């Protein structure tokens, strides 16, 4: 090991032994480094000194061998010092904590982020050096492997959190720091004998434990109600870690991941709400229903999501409705709440009733689009029970067919799909609404056919085709009544393009049964 400025700055002497130099032990070097590093100050004035100390420590570690780093004094002391070093470097390179509640909002121009990428790059060099030597020690049999595993068990959690903090494109990262932390993560997975991040966190079915509990324990101080908003990286690290653990491993960790997810979803910033709902959705999809139903957890999640159903943010509503759709089957299997109603309303009925009420009064196109896209799934979920909502559903379908929502016409296409699903399940109750629906479909077809806006021709063709399919289904379910209603329209239509679609209905044999309706009767 060559001489380094760090050894001089640490005031460690190299005593002469029997004809050779006796270098300081790793315990002396690391403990004095941590002491001097902490005393260098946390303000900008101490940044250059700290950076120099880190680079010099990297030089020492690179020149040293595994025997010097992991041997020479009790192993538990080695492990504690190395963990303290990893934690110290992680804190040094972390984005500065916010002192106000304006957290969370990733301000790309925030000057407090400017120094973070360089700090993360310097810290990555030291951490990679440690991981590399752990990997070398693991290749040795006997004591070397045991020591390496002991060190890895302690440092893997905070080292992984450090890597995830800086590996993605964030306001506090740059391409160089992202590349170096990505290499660090690859080295960590290799030293842990893992093929992926998921395997590293969850372990394997063969009984090898993963690092999920250690990572969550390390994150725990920053995931409470008072602290999570002060660290801008915490929510992203937690979300990334959670998304990597799936069924059947996630169920046993529900108590650790559910409270932070609820905290995120309950925030007043929309981006945090979206992230929290996405975390809740992952939990719903990957935790057994029986575990979620235990001690009313599913009702707690449902209450949190129900509050978001009143939001006017389209991006939030998009993730909320997807989450609610997956929650409803679990909620309906849970022990029912006490009710004096002889025919209690199901959660699906409650949500659809609220959704239709909001759809009827909504004028924001982006939100109408989100509502309409998810409506067919609700109709499919309810099946024949959709007849209980036909009055309001008809009003929504007619209203949404009347209004164009832009070149892609996503809302109109989705509402036509909703009408098809409704006819499929509730066709015996459609006859009394036949004239209203046929009139609305014809009006929409005329508007689309005469539209001279920027709507692509392929979108117009899709709208006309789906409207024709709806008219055919209505004709099937009414035993040819639609043909009677359309006879005069067909003969008086002067537009050849529109008449071609009406001809398909006119030429369909009277009284034939749709395969779609026949399957579901």
Looking at residue 188, what is its pLDDT? Answer: 93
Looking at residue 340, what is its pLDDT? Answer: 54
Looking at residue 337, what is its pLDDT? Answer: 58
- In angstroms, the CA 461 to CA 345 distance is 40
Per-residue model confidence as pLDDT tens digits over 221-232: 888 888 888 888
The answer to whether the CB of 169 falls within 8 A of the CB of 208 is no
Give Cβ neighbours of residue 57 (< 8 Å, ≥ 6 apart): 6, 29, 33, 126
The answer to whether the CB of 273 falls within 8 A of the CB of 305 is no
Phi-psi region of 451 (alpha: psi -120 to 50; beta: other; left: phi over 0): beta
Backbone angles phi, psi at 511, to 5 degrees: 80, 0
Tell me the pLDDT band of 325, cut-offs 50, 70 and 90.
very high
Looking at residue 1, what is its pLDDT? Answer: 46
As a whole number, the mean pLDDT across the chain is 84
Looking at residue 418, what is its pLDDT? Answer: 96
Per-residue model confidence as pLDDT tens digits over 126-137: 999 999 888 888
Tokens 């998009």 belong to 318
- In angstroms, the CA 433 to CA 389 distance is 13
Tell me the pLDDT band of 339, cut-offs 50, 70 and 90.
low
The answer to whether the CB of 439 falls within 8 A of the CB of 475 is no
Phi-psi region of 18 (alpha: psi -120 to 50; beta: other; left: phi over 0): beta
Q: Give me the mean pLDDT over the 434-457 stretch.
A: 89
**Is the pLDDT reported for residue 34 higher than 60?**
yes
Tokens 């002192």 belong to 99
Return the exposure string of 142-180: e unless at least 16 CB atoms fall within 10 Å of the residue's CB, then b: eebeebbebbbebbbbbbbbbbbbbbeebbbbbeebbeb
Helices 175-191 & 116-138 angle (0-180, nearest 10): 20
Tell me the pLDDT band of 17, cut-offs 50, 70 and 90.
very low
Q: Give me the mean pLDDT over the 11-20 stretch.
A: 45
The answer to whether the CB of 311 falls within 8 A of the CB of 320 is yes
Tell me the pLDDT band of 167, cut-offs 50, 70 and 90.
very high
The answer to whether the CB of 275 falls within 8 A of the CB of 264 is yes
Q: Give me the mean pLDDT over the 95-121 stretch.
A: 68
Per-residue model confidence as pLDDT tens digits over 488-511: 887 777 777 888 888 888 877 655
- The percent of residues in the chain predicted with pLDDT above 70, rounded, is 84
**Is the pLDDT reported for residue 348 higher than 80?**
yes
Q: Which of residues 26 and 343 earns the better pLDDT score?
A: 26
pTM exceeds cut of 0.85: yes
Burial (CB < 10 A; 0-12, 13-18, 19+), residue 21, is exposed
* Residues making up the chain, counted from first to last: 521
Burial (CB < 10 A; 0-12, 13-18, 19+), residue 12, is middle
Q: Which residues pair with 16 in a beta bridge?
A: 21
**Is the pLDDT reported for residue 453 higher than 60?**
yes
Per-residue model confidence as pLDDT tens digits over 178-204: 999 999 999 999 988 888 999 999 887
The answer to whether the CB of 69 falls within 8 A of the CB of 148 is no
Backbone angles phi, psi at 22, to 5 degrees: -100, 105
Report the SS3 class of residue 27. Answer: helix
- In angstroms, the CA 468 to CA 293 distance is 44
- The percent of residues in the chain predicted with pLDDT above 90, rounded, is 49
Looking at residue 183, what is its pLDDT? Answer: 94
Per-residue model confidence as pLDDT tens digits over 402-415: 999 888 999 999 99
Tell me the range of 14-28, 192-206, 428-442 where mean pLDDT is highest.
428-442
Tokens 């492997």 belong to 145
**Is the pLDDT reported for residue 4 higher than 60?**
no
**Is the pLDDT reported for residue 168 higher than 60?**
yes
- Which stretch of 66-80, 138-152, 474-488 has the lowest confidence by average pLDDT? 66-80
Q: Give me the mean pLDDT over the 60-81 stretch.
A: 74
How do the domains of the chain map onto residue ranges? 1-98+111-222, 246-334
**Tokens at 494, concatenated:** 């002067």
Q: Which of residues 191 and 138 earns the better pLDDT score?
A: 191
Q: Is the peptide bond before 248 cis (omega within 30 degrees of 0)?
A: yes
Q: Which residues pair with 209 in a beta bridge?
A: 203
DSSP letter for each residue of 100-155:
SS-TT---TT-GGGTTHHHHHHHHHHHHHHHHHHHHHHHTS-THHHHHHHHHHHHH
Report the SS3 class of residue 22. Answer: strand
Q: Give me the mean pLDDT over the 239-268 stretch.
A: 92
Please state, in angstroms and as integers, the Cα–Cα distance from residue 131 to each residue in 70, 156, 193, 362, 367, following that order: 12, 9, 12, 56, 49
Backbone angles phi, psi at 16, to 5 degrees: -80, 130
Q: Give me the mean pLDDT over the 147-167 stretch.
A: 90
- In angstroms, the CA 275 to CA 267 distance is 10
**Is the pLDDT reported for residue 40 higher than 80?**
no
Q: Which of residues 88 and 503 earns the better pLDDT score?
A: 88
**Is the pLDDT reported for residue 349 higher than 80?**
yes
Give Cβ neighbours of residue 257 (< 8 Å, ≥ 6 apart): 216, 242, 250, 279, 283
Looking at residue 482, what is its pLDDT? Answer: 86
Count of alpha carbons within 13 Å of 283, Cβ hemisphere only? 28
The answer to whether the CB of 95 falls within 8 A of the CB of 113 is yes
- In angstroms, the CA 242 to CA 261 distance is 10
Give the chain's count of helices (H) and strands (E).
Answer: 25, 2
**Is the pLDDT reported for residue 21 higher than 60?**
no
Tell me the pLDDT band of 160, cut-offs 50, 70 and 90.
very high
Closest CA to 430 of 468, 469, 471, 396: 471
């Amino acid at each position: 090991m060559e001489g380094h400025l760090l050894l001089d700055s640490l005031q460690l002497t190299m005593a002469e032994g029997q004809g050779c130099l006796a270098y300081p032990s790793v315990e002396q070097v690391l403990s004095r480094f941590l002491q001097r590093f902490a005393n260098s100050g946390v303000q900008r004035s101490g940044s250059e000194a700290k950076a120099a100390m880190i680079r010099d420590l990297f030089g020492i570690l690179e020149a040293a061998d595994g025997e010097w780093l992991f041997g020479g004094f009790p192993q538990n002391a080695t492990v504690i010092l190395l963990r303290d070093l990893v934690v110290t470097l992680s804190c040094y390179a972390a984005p500065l904590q916010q002192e106000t509640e304006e957290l969370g909002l990733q301000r790309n121009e925030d000057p407090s982020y400017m120094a973070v990428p360089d700090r993360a790059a310097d810290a990555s060099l030291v951490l990679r050096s440690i991981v590399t030597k752990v990997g070398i020690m693991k290749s040795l049999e006997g004591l070397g492997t045991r020591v390496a595993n002991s060190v890895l068990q302690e440092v893997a959690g905070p080292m992984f959190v450090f890597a995830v903090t800086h590996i993605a494109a964030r306001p506090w990262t740059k391409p160089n720091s992202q590349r170096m932390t990505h290499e660090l993560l690859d080295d960590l997975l290799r030293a842990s004998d893992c093929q992926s991040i998921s395997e590293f966190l969850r372990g394997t079915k063969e009984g090898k434990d993963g690092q999920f509990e250690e990572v969550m324990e390390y994150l725990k101080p920053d995931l409470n109600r008072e602290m999570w908003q002060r660290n801008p990286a915490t929510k992203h690290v937690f979300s990334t870690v959670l998304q990597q653990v799936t069924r059947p491993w996630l169920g046993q960790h529900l108590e650790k991941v559910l409270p932070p997810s609820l905290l995120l979803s309950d925030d007043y910033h929309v981006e945090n709400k979206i992230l929290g709902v996405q975390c809740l959705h992952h939990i719903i999809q990957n935790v057994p229903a029986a575990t979620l139903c235990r001690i009313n957890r599913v009702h707690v999640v449902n209450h949190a999501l129900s509050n978001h159903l009143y939001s006017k943010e389209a991006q939030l509503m998009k993730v909320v409705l997807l989450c609610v759709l997956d929650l409803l089957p679990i909620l309906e299997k849970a022990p029912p709440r006490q009710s004096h109603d002889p025919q209690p309303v199901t959660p699906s009925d409650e949500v659809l009733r609220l959704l239709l009420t909001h759809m009827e009064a909504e004028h924001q196109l982006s939100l109408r689009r989100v509502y309409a896209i998810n409506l067919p799934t609700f109709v499919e979920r309810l099946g024949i029970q959709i007849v209980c909502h036909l009055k309001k559903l008809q009003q929504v379908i007619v209203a949404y067919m009347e209004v164009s929502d832009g070149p892609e016409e996503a809302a109109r296409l989705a509402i036509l799909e909703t009408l098809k699903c409704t006819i499929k399940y509730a066709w015996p109750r459609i006859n009394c609404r036949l004239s209203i629906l046929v009139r609305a479909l014809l009006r929409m077809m005329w508007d689309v056919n005469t539209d001279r806006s920027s709507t692509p021709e392929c979108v117009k063709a899709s709208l006309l085709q789906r409207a024709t399919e709806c008219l055919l289904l209505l004709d099937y379910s009414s035993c040819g009544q639609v043909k009677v209603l359309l006879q005069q329209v067909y003969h008086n239509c002067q537009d050849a393009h529109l008449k071609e679609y009406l001809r398909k209905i006119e030429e369909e044999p009277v009284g034939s049964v749709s395969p779609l309706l026949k399957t579901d009767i």
